[in-house]
Amino acid sequence: IAALESWRALGLNISIDDYGTGQSSLGYLQKLPATELKIDMSFIQTLVSDRRNAIMVRSTIAMAHELGMKVVAEGVEDGACLQQLAEMGCDTAQGWHIGKPMKAEALEALLVERRAAASVLAVNDRRKPAQPLHRPPAVAGPPPRTGEEWLRSAYDAGDAA
């Protein structure tokens, strides 16, 4: 634990992987200077169909955030799961729905393509009128985001870093 604390002092981030299974337990959350919690795919893959898993994932996300940690959901394989995680406030998702494993060259080409597409979207957004012609009624809180909007915001935040 002392070594992990010294690495944290240097600014390194520490993740607890496969949380919810095996050796990853509440005891680790209490003792380790982790900055990120990765929820095991066994909870994520049945999130939409299993109410109990949804409750455990939602409470784990809330607990990790209260402890100052970011949360990664492992094993996201469909849009419904991604949408539910976004609604729960999960910070990051990984899995085949997001992207399949690829070689570094393929990843670089994908990022270049997405950056170009984001530039086109930004130009198009500037062409929109500043004031909408019709204002929708005010609602409390931010509007719900789709899984795609959540991914785009996460991607844009990564560009800013």
Active site residues: 74
Instruction: Say how far apart CA 57 and CA 43 lie, in whole Å.
Output: 7
